[in-house]
Amino acid sequence: MTTKGRLDRRSPASRWLDITLWGIQWILASVFVGGGAWKLITPVAQLAEVFPWVGETPLALLYVTSGLDILGGLGVLLPALTRVKPQLTALAALGCSALQVCAIAFHLFRGETDVAFNVVLALLSAFVVWGRRAGAPVMPRT
């Protein structure tokens, strides 16, 4: 039953997909918003110890990617959660996936091969794109 008392006519598989997508969306939002905020508030010298590229590239790259992380993380969750323009969730997830593909290319170009976390984030984001567009879309408020 929904909150308005109507019967929920979705199949059990569709309900599980929806639950899985919500879980992934919360994880992605936490990782992107948390990581972006952490990179913005942590002193650059301390970040450079963890991420060598921070000390070897213009600071603008750090600030732009951190801002994109935060915006993407909010976009993956809030439109679907509020049901205000929920189609933006899939677009934000697409942006997060594209950001991770760029991060993978950036790190590989620099000779850094530890990109497994970026690959996982890209795949999870791509799954949300598919899931919220075709598998279990969130309906807008009426």
**Is residue 76 within 8 Å of 36, Cβ to Cβ?**
no
User: How far, in Å, CA of 36 to CA of 17, rounded?
Assistant: 28
Residue 2 has pLDDT above 90, yes or no: no
Alpha-carbon distance 121 to 35, whole Å?
12
The whole-number average pLDDT for the span 20-41 is: 98
How far is Cα 72 from Cα 82, in angstroms, rounded to an integer? 16
- The domains of the chain are located at 26-135
Do residues 68 and 99 touch, judged by C-beta distance below 8 A? yes
- In percent, the amount of the chain with pLDDT more than 70 equals 94
**pLDDT score of 9 more than 80:** no
Mean pLDDT of the chain: 93
At 129, list the tokens. Answer: 């794109």
In b/e form, how buried is each residue of 8-19, taking b as 16+ CB within 10 angstroms? eeeeeeeeebbe
Model confidence band, residue 3 (pLDDT cutoffs 50, 70, 90) = very low
- Closest to 36 in 3D by CA, of 8, 90, 72: 72
